[in-house]
C-alpha cells in the first residue's frame, strides 16, 4: 500500500513540477505542455521503479539529516532567545 502511494506521489509531483515549468515558460500550447509533463512523469516513474531500493535509502537518509538540521536550528533559536532576555534585564 505504501509503495503504491509513494509511486503515485512521485508521479503527481513530477507531473505538477514539469507542467508548472512548461506553463510558466509559455513555449508550447497548454495541450502540448500537458502531454510533455505526462510523458516525463511516466519516465521518472519507470526510473523510480528500477532504482526504488537505492532511492528509498537515499531519501530516508536525507530525511533524517533534514530533521536533525531543523532540530538543531530550533534548539539554537531557543537558546538565543533566552540569552537575549537575560542581557536585556
Does this model's pTM top 0.85? no
The residues near 18 (Cβ < 8 Å, ≥ 6 apart) are 36, 37, 40, 41
Predicted local confidence at residue 59, as pLDDT: 79
Predicted local confidence at residue 84, as pLDDT: 53
pLDDT in tens, the chain (89 residues): 777 888 888 899 999 999 999 999 998 999 999 999 999 999 998 888 788 788 778 878 988 999 999 999 988 887 765 555 565 65
Q: Do residues 36 and 22 touch, judged by C-beta distance below 8 A?
A: yes
Helix (H) or strand (E) holding 54, with range, is helix 52-88
Query: How many CB atoms neighbour CB 41 within 10 A?
Result: 20
Amino acid at each position: 500500500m505504501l509503495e503504491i502511494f509513494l509511486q503515485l506521489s512521485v508521479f503527481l509531483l513530477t507531473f505538477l513540477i514539469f507542467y508548472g515549468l512548461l506553463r510558466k515558460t509559455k513555449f508550447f500550447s497548454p495541450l502540448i505542455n500537458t502531454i510533455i509533463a505526462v510523458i516525463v512523469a511516466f519516465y521518472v516513474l519507470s526510473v523510480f521503479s528500477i532504482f526504488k531500493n537505492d532511492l528509498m535509502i537515499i531519501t530516508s537518509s536525507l530525511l533524517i539529516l533534514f530533521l536533525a538540521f531543523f532540530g538543531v536550528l530550533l534548539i539554537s533559536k531557543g537558546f538565543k532567545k533566552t540569552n537575549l532576555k537575560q542581557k536585556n534585564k
